[in-house]
């Protein structure tokens, strides 16, 4: 059993301090008749539940303190969450407020308390933080909040790889001519510069120049042209540590696109990615943008699902080169965050604000 080992040999502990989406708002609405859940999910190896009670979306350990049954088998009621087994009912703080089998006025044991987690709805996603002792924030998504672009939520996808593997795939540019041969890239356009990477509080950023690739042709990007055509314009990659990635392309002064993606660690070797494709308001059909992403993801999946191990291992198990710079820096910070998180929330927050990784790291030549 290796699922309790996360990227770079870390435990789940550091990642419990961060916010992760556990379902879409729509999935919660559709989980049960009535539209309030409960819905079962898994986050960092823990079985959790989400429900709307009294107008508030709450997240809880999916275990009834009475006999350990899954509370998500039960019902969300106006004032509480009711267990399907013996009908105990819990309020939004997790306190048991009713034990139907008891005569009225019989005291309810104080230990009849469900573990509740921080929970917020943002960007039509339900975000959960398992450990509230660090002052982390839900990752930013400016295009959604300021309405500057049309943001379309894609169907979340479950991949047999760690969250870290998914992040690295997302910020990797040199796989374009091979994993996306004939779509996002193609030989002979295979040589890439080593892009400088900026480390800012809580985030890594780097910019790519325009590079030669191949335009598959569609309604958005114009008719197909030759493999020598310029397809991918300058791009900005952002990783909000540890796992939220944003990729912005500037096609022209008036047309920009971006992809926002967060792979939620289900366990150490499985992640479920929540994502959006966004574009300047140009009236194009949502399907055009979703289909492009479906194609790209379909090309990535077999490769990413084939990694051994399914999580990121130790440096000596893989060989890096200078053009892997973004992933080398991100791994270094991830490892430092993991170590800091094991020492506690204050150390974790200090590490999240650090800005010295770029100067410390030299990409190995072999």
Q: Which residues bind Fe ion (CB under 5 A)?
A: 300
Which residue ranges make up the site for ligand FES (CB under 6 A)? 64, 66-67, 69, 83, 85-86, 88
Q: Rounded distance, CA 214 to CA 207, Å?
A: 20
Between 266 and 304, name the residue whose CB sits nearer to Fe ion.
304
Q: At closest approach, how far in Å is the CB of 31 from ligand FES?
A: 19
- Which entry of ligand FES, Fe ion, none binds 249, CB below 5 to 8 A by partner kind? none
Residue 29 CB-density burial (10 A; 0-12 exposed, 13-18 middle, 19+ buried): middle
Residue nearer to ligand FES on the CB measure, 63 or 166: 63
For Fe ion, give the closer residue by CB, 10 or 257: 257
Pick one of Fe ion, ligand FES, none as the site partner of residue 44 (Cβ within 5 to 8 A by kind). Answer: none
Q: At its nearest, how many Å lie between ligand FES and the CB of residue 65?
A: 8
Q: Which does 67 bind (CB under 5 to 8 A by kind): ligand FES, Fe ion, none?
A: ligand FES
| C-beta closer to ligand FES: residue 95 or 332 | 95
Provide, rounded to whole angstroms, the least separation between the CB of residue 131 and ligand FES. 25
* Residue with smaller CB distance to Fe ion, 267 or 300: 300
CB of 113 to ligand FES, least distance (A): 13
Minimal distance, residue 116 CB to ligand FES, in Å: 16
**Least distance in Å: CB of 90 to ligand FES?**
9
Nearest to Fe ion of 97, 296 (CB atom): 296
């Amino acid at each position: 059993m290796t699922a309790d080992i996360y990227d770079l040999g870390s435990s789940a502990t550091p990642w419990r301090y961060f916010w992760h989406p556990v379902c879409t708002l729509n999935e919660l609405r559709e989980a049960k008749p009535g539209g309030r859940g409960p819905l079962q999910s898994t986050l960092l190896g823990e079985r959790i539940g989400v429900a709307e009670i009294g107008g508030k979306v709450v997240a809880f350990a999916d275990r009834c303190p009475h006999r350990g049954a899954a509370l998500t088998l039960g019902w969300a009621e106006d004032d509480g969450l009711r267990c399907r087994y013996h009908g105990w009912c819990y309020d939004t703080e997790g306190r048991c407020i009713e034990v139907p089998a008891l005569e009225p006025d019989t005291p309810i044991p104080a230990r009849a308390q469900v573990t509740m987690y921080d929970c917020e709805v943002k960007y039509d996603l339900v975000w959960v933080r398992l450990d509230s002792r660090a002052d982390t924030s839900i990752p930013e998504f400016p295009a959604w909040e300021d309405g500057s672009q049309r943001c379309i939520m894609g169907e979340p996808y479950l991949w047999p790889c760690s969250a870290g593997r998914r992040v690295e795939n997302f910020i990797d540019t040199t796989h374009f001519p091979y994993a996306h041969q004939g779509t996002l890239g193609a030989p002979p356009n295979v040589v890439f510069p080593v892009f400088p990477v900026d480390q800012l509080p809580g985030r890594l950023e780097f910019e790519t120049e325009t590079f030669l690739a191949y335009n598959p042709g569609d309604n958005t990007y114009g008719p197909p042209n030759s493999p020598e055509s310029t397809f991918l314009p300058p791009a900005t990659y952002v990783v909000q540590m540890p796992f939220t990635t944003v990729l912005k392309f500037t096609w022209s002064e008036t047309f920009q696109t971006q992809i926002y993606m967060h792979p939620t660690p289900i366990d150490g070797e499985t992640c479920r990615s929540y994502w959006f494709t966004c574009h300047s308001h140009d009236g194009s059909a949502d399907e055009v943008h979703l289909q492009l992403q479906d194609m790209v993801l379909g090309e990535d999946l077999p490769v990413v699902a084939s990694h051994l191990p399914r999580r990121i291992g130790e440096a000596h198990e893989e060989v890096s080169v200078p053009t892997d710079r973004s992933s080398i820096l991100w791994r270094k910070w991830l490892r430092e965050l993991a170590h800091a998180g094991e020492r506690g929330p204050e150390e974790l927050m200090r590490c999240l604000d650090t800005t010295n990784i770029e100067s410390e790291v030299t990409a190995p030549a072999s």
